[in-house]
Amino acid sequence: MQKSIRRFITRTARKMRFLPSKIYVKYHYEYFTGKKLNLENPQEFNEKIEWYKVFYRPKILTQLADKYEVRSYVEEKIGSQYLNKLYGVYDNANTIDFDMLPNQFIIKANHANNQNHIVKDKKTLNQNSVKKLCNKWLTKNQYYRKGQEWAYKNIKPKIIIEKFLKENNRNTLIDYKFYCFDGQPKFIDVHIDRDCEHKQGCFDLEFNLLPFGKSKNYKCVSSDIEKPSNLSEMIELAGKLADKLPFVRVDLYSINGKSIFGEMTFYPADARKDFYPDAYNKIIGDYFKLPKLNNGQPITEYN
């Protein structure tokens, strides 16, 4: 009975996103992991992600989480040649001129995750429906929509339209997600076949399959997945982009051997999905060295 009551409390509280962050993240973490959050001395990776939401708040995180504003950071750090081609940026989807766009492209919200629309054939596109969808995206704030992911709180919502990326002989792109700690990539979370049988696997920097995964909801990638020809370059780029940050996940694509920047993420899966086997939540958490607080106040300096 006590367990059921506790579950009801956490389920209710996680929807109360107006709660102070120090309180809210404890309910959020317990609801999704079934574990109590020790915010004073977090040990596991997702515990530290919840700490990150509350206490690590340099202004630059807002820029880096913004899928449009991050482009200037990428250009400065590694060069514009690694950016996907941008067709347009809009504050209102009704101003999108679809006639000026190519036949294939991708529409994204700059201020949230999982808000994108792939257009593979413009002739079949229902423009009014897409505009309505995009304008709906513009009304949502990721901070309140999910689990108080602080970096998204003050992003000005926009719609961006980019080039549709395609790799030869593949229906969907492979995502290479580099987990970086203190500016150093430690391992790669690889996702394939997102549009059919989504598979995931974690690899070391030599592209050997590691004995842990990100979520049991995905099928496991096999060890015979081909190593990207530009892996060394992607590792170097991820490290440069992650410079001076205690933790960030840098997402890159390999398009026929060419490295293309995807995004930077500070709160993977909103701290909802543990690694498995369970022991790796502490092992990976040990990579994550949290900066020291001054009198318990959030960190606002980026050094």
Answer whether residue 2 shows pLDDT above 70. Answer: no
Q: Average model confidence (pLDDT) for the chain?
A: 91
Cα–Cα distance between 196 and 193 in angstroms, integer? 6
Give this prediction's pTM: 0.94
In the chain, what percentage of residues exceed pLDDT 90?
76
Beta-sheet pairing, 116-119 with 105-109 = antiparallel
The pLDDT assigned to 301 comes to: 87
pLDDT at 166 over 60: yes
Lowest mean pLDDT across 55-59, 89-93, 188-192, 257-261:
188-192
Question: What phi and psi, each to the nearest 5 degrees, are found at residue 200?
Answer: -140, 145
Could you give the 3-state DSSP secondary structure of residue 179?
A: strand
pLDDT greater at residue 26 or residue 1 = 26
What is the tens place of the pLDDT at every residue in 292-302?
Answer: 998 889 999 88
pLDDT in tens, 43-86: 999 999 999 999 999 999 999 999 999 999 999 999 999 999 99
Q: Is 294 exposed, middle or buried (0-12, 13-18, 19+ CB in 10 A)?
A: exposed
pLDDT band at 219, cuts 50/70/90? Answer: low
At residue 152, the pLDDT reads: 95
How are beta strands 199-203 and 159-163 bridged, if at all?
unpaired
pLDDT number for residue 218: 63
